[in-house]
């Protein structure tokens, strides 16, 4: 009984879908009529008037090492050394446990 | 081994320190990455645009034409009485381009059925604010169109 | 506090099966001997690959992959986008380090004969990945479409053209036509961003599963010594010992990477001029210098055949032997010493180092 109802519902949906193509109601948005466009000339502002092209000198300037970058790098290394030292301490503790047989018991 | 009075064992404290330092390294590196991803790029808008009188004369009363104002689309309308009005063509709801309907003399946005009257005021549908108006002035033999009036709606810069 | 801790662990374990993963890692034993240091190379490669998979798509937010816009978009990344220079340089240096560590990983496994039974497929997948990584490096530095990239495109796609029979098809496939142009950049972009990373991911998955299944290979000399002395080879569990070791190595690697990126940021050559001659001293990137140098030494014609063809075919044959090493080196398969292949490995390493050095300095 459920299967018959389900198939009727499915057929009804299929019929509706097919009918929509013939009913005239568009299934997709209609294209707008061709628009009328008036050409313009821009009067640029001072900042806007500079060309967007980036020169090789600007690229070289961006590549130059500054003090700020070195400070950032030193900060990164300090954090890395801190983490590395902490991890090695933990490793020493783990090695001690390993030699006491703590880990090999589970294997 | 954890003594009763303390929250954590010494080992757990240490593991916490390690994870904390690793997270701080991640955050330290994530800052430049975040700045990189949130790069505000300001697209320039021109001071004004000009149109030739010949092109303007071709515009019949109660009709519209589009024009480019930098990266913004603009819509120029000649009313029935012959006045020229210019507005930003971007609907103030969700940025679709509006259309001038010469029968109802309103601007219509097809995306969510928004309506603006001939002066750009939002009259029906979801748009929350009026269309930003441009000033249209004839200077010699060109028509000069400038960005929104002072005190009017400011066009959002990108 | 501790009960809450255990409750959180139990909740996560129930849903994510993390407990099972950690158990696996605890059971995995890594042998500790004088060659253990080479075991770290795989994890380093994985970390570098993950860095590339993060910085690559991030750069993709601003890179415009068309011939007219590529150069300016890279210049914009360097100059206008905040920390663009840093992320581009990290991506560039990570690729160099990845290729360097790949060479170290390749030569170390080749020398200790880790390709012996039952690890043949781990070797084959590794060799495929090696080629993919080299190709990724090559396609990457053509993307800014500057002068250097243009010559790299020309020469790099011309060389496979010298392969007999299939050469012309390979050349046309790589170039997207007969000549290098805008369509070539599109192809190299598709290769670098889509095809090669996905292929690498797929092969990497197989490689990692195989390596975990078989465990770490122990060099023959150490195995034999342990057998003679009737001693067991000491081994430590992967979790937590080697996970911590890998973490420290990874941290130092990240530090080194950012140091290189800050102190020697990536360059951007000049804009392509299709009519300009190749600049004096133009050379391929460092990982192809050995090929460049060897081909330079081969005379124009060898026994009537074009030198280029002889060179590339010769190198291809050597590469084929290395690819099939597990199946050719039958002494290693029987777990016997194989001095011929050891010599072969030492000679290839020496040739690689010497040719790269000569190509770099002269």
CA dihedral for C85, C87, C88, C92, sign (positive or negative): positive
B56 belongs to a structural domain: yes
Q: Which of B10, B26, B41 is the last residue of a domain?
A: B41
Of A39, A45, A90, the CB nearest to B47: A45
Local confidence band at B55 (pLDDT 50, 70, 90 cut-offs): confident
pLDDT given at position A50: 47
Could you tell me if B90 and B75 lie in one domain? Answer: yes
**Min distance C202 CA to chain A CA atoms (Å):** 31
How confident is the model over B101-113, as a mean pLDDT?
Answer: 92
Local confidence band at B44 (pLDDT 50, 70, 90 cut-offs): confident
What CATH number corresponds to the domain at position B87? 2.102.10.10
List the beta strands (DSSP E) in A1-106. Answer: 41-43
pLDDT given at position A22: 82
Residue B156 has pLDDT above 70, yes or no: no
**Min distance B39 CA to chain C CA atoms (Å):** 6
Could you tell me if B59 and B102 lie in one domain? Answer: yes
Residue B154 has pLDDT above 70, yes or no: no
CA dihedral defined by C19, C21, C24, C25, rounded to 10 degrees? -100
Chain centroid to Cα C27, Å, comes to 29
Q: Which of B41, B58, B73 is the last residue of a domain?
A: B41
pLDDT given at position A106: 41
Cβ of residue B29 closer than 8 Å to a chain A Cβ: yes
C336-345 residue pLDDT tens: 888 999 999 9
Taking the C-alpha atoms of residue A35 and residue B100, their distance in angstroms, rounded to an integer, is 11
B7 belongs to a structural domain: yes
Percent of chain B predicted with pLDDT > 70: 92
Q: Which residues of C touch A70 (CB under 8 A)?
A: 262
Cβ of residue C29 closer than 8 Å to a chain A Cβ: yes
Residue A48 has pLDDT above 60, yes or no: no
C237-267 residue pLDDT tens: 888 889 999 999 999 999 999 999 999 999 9
B155 belongs to a structural domain: no
CA end-to-end span of chain A, whole Å? 59
For B97, the 3-state DSSP assignment is strand
Kindly report the average pLDDT of chain C as a whole number.
91
Residue C1 has pLDDT above 80, yes or no: no
C204-228 residue pLDDT tens: 999 999 998 898 898 888 888 888 8
In the structure encoding, which two tokens stand for residue C349, read together? 């390493």
Percent of chain B predicted with pLDDT > 90: 53
Domain tally, chain B: 2
Could you tell me if B36 and B76 lie in one domain? Answer: no
C149-166 residue pLDDT tens: 998 898 888 888 878 788
Could you tell me if B1 and B68 lie in one domain? Answer: no
The pTM assigned to this predicted structure is 0.86
- Interface predicted TM-score of the whole assembly (ipTM), two decimals: 0.87
Residue A104 has pLDDT above 70, yes or no: no
Of A37, A45, A75, the CB nearest to B65: A37
Of residues C144 and A41, which shows the higher confidence score?
A: C144
B75 belongs to a structural domain: yes
**Is residue C293 a contact partner of residue C315, using CB atoms and an 8 Å limit?**
no
In the structure encoding, which two tokens stand for residue B51, read together? 């149109």
Give the CA count within 13 Å in the CB-facing half-sphere of C177.
9
Could you tell me if B79 and B119 lie in one domain? Answer: yes
Could you tell me if B103 and B61 lie in one domain? Answer: yes
pLDDT given at position A45: 66
Cβ of residue A38 closer than 8 Å to a chain B Cβ: yes
Crossing angle of helices C84-111 and C120-142, in 10° steps, is: 150
Could you tell me if B74 and B26 lie in one domain? Answer: no
CA dihedral for C114, C118, C123, C126, sign (positive or negative): negative
Could you tell me if B19 and B75 lie in one domain? Answer: no
Could you tell me if B95 and B132 lie in one domain? Answer: yes
Contact B18 A38 (CB under 8 A): no
Residue B149 has pLDDT above 60, yes or no: no
Range of the domain at B95: 48-148
C67-101 residue pLDDT tens: 999 999 999 999 999 999 999 999 999 999 999 99
Q: Which residues of A touch C241 (CB under 8 A)?
A: 91, 94-95, 98
Could you tell me if B92 and B125 lie in one domain? Answer: yes
**Is residue C345 a contact partner of residue C107, using CB atoms and an 8 Å limit?**
yes
Q: Domains in chain C, please, with CATH?
A: 2-273 (1.20.810.10), 288-362 (no CATH)
Contact A63 C78 (CB under 8 A): yes
Could you tell me if B37 and B53 lie in one domain? Answer: no
Of A72, A95, A107, the CB nearest to C26: A107
Domain residue extents for chain A: 65-107
Could you tell me if B110 and B138 lie in one domain? Answer: yes
Taking the C-alpha atoms of residue C342 and residue C356, their distance in angstroms, rounded to an integer, is 21
**Min distance A49 CA to chain C CA atoms (Å):** 17
**Is residue C187 a contact partner of residue C145, using CB atoms and an 8 Å limit?**
no
Cβ of residue B124 closer than 8 Å to a chain A Cβ: no
B115 belongs to a structural domain: yes
CA dihedral for B36, C140, C262, A81, sign (positive or negative): positive
């Amino acid at each position: 009984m459920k299967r018959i109802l389900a198939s009727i519902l499915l057929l009804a949906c299929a019929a509706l879908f097919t009918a929509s193509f013939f009913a005239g109601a568009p299934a997709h948005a209609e294209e707008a009529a061709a628009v009328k466009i008036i050409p313009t000339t821009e009067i640029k502002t001072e900042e806007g008037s500079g060309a967007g092209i980036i020169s090789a000198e600007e690229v070289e300037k961006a590549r130059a090492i500054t003090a700020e970058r070195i400070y950032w790098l030193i900060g990164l290394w300090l954090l890395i050394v801190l983490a590395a030292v902490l991890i090695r301490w933990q490793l020493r503790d783990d090695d001690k446990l390993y030699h006491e047989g703590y880990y090999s018991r589970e294997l | 081994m954890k003594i009763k009075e303390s929250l954590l064992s010494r080992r757990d404290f240490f593991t916490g320190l390690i994870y904390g330092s690793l997270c701080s390294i991640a955050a330290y590196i994530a800052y430049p990455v975040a700045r990189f991803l949130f790069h505000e790029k300001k697209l320039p808008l021109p001071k004004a645009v000009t149109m030739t009188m010949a092109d303007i004369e071709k515009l019949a009363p109660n009709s519209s034409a589009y024009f480019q104002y930098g990266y913004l689309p603009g819509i120029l309308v000649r009313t029935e009485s012959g006045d020229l009005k210019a507005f930003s063509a971007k609907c103030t709801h969700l940025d679709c381009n509006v259309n001038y309907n010469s029968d109802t003399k309103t601007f219509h946005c097809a995306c969510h059925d928004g309506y603006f009257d001939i002066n750009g005021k939002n009259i029906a549908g979801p748009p929350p604010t009026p269309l930003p108006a441009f000033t249209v002035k004839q200077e010699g033999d060109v028509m000069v169109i400038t960005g929104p009036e002072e005190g009017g709606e400011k066009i959002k810069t990108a | 506090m501790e009960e809450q801790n255990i409750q959180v662990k139990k909740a996560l374990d129930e849903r994510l099966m993390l407990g099972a993963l950690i158990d696996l890692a605890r059971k995995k034993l890594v042998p500790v001997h004088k060659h253990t240091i080479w075991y770290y190379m795989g994890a380093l490669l994985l970390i570098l690959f993950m860095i590339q998979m993060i910085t690559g798509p991030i750069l993709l937010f601003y890179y415009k992959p068309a011939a007219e816009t590529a150069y300016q978009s890279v210049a914009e990344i360097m100059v206008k986008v905040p920390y663009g220079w840093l992320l581009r340089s990290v991506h560039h240096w990570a690729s160099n380090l990845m290729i360097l560590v790949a060479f170290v990983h390749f030569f170390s496994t080749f020398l200790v004969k880790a390709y012996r039974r039952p690890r043949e497929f781990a070797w084959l997948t590794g060799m495929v990945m090696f080629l993919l990584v080299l190709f990724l490096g090559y396609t990457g530095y053509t993307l800014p479409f500057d002068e250097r990239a243009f010559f790299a495109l020309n020469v790099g796609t011309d060389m496979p053209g010298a392969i007999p029979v299939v050469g012309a098809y390979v050349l046309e496939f790589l170039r997207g036509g007969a000549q290098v142009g805008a369509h070539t950049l599109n192809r190299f972009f598709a290769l670098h961003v889509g095809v090669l990373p996905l292929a690498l991911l797929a092969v990497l998955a197989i490689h990692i599963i195989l390596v975990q299944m078989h465990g770490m290979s122990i060099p023959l000399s150490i195995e034999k010594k342990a057998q003679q002395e009737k001693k067991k080879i000491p081994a430590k569990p992967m979790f937590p010992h080697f996970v911590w070791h890998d973490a420290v190595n990874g941290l130092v690697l990240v530090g080194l990477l950012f140091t290189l990126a800050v102190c020697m940021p990536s360059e951007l050559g000049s804009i392509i001029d299709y009519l300009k001659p190749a600049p004096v001293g133009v050379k391929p990137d460092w990982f192809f210098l050995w090929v460049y140098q060897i081909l330079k030494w081969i005379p124009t014609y060898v026994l009537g055949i074009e030198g280029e063809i002889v060179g590339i075919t010769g190198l291809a044959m050597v590469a084929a032997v290395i690819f099939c090493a597990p199946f050719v080196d039958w002494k290693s398969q029987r777990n016997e010493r194989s001095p011929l292949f050891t010599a072969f490995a030492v000679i290839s390493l020496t040739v690689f180092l010497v040719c790269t050095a000569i190509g770099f300095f002269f």
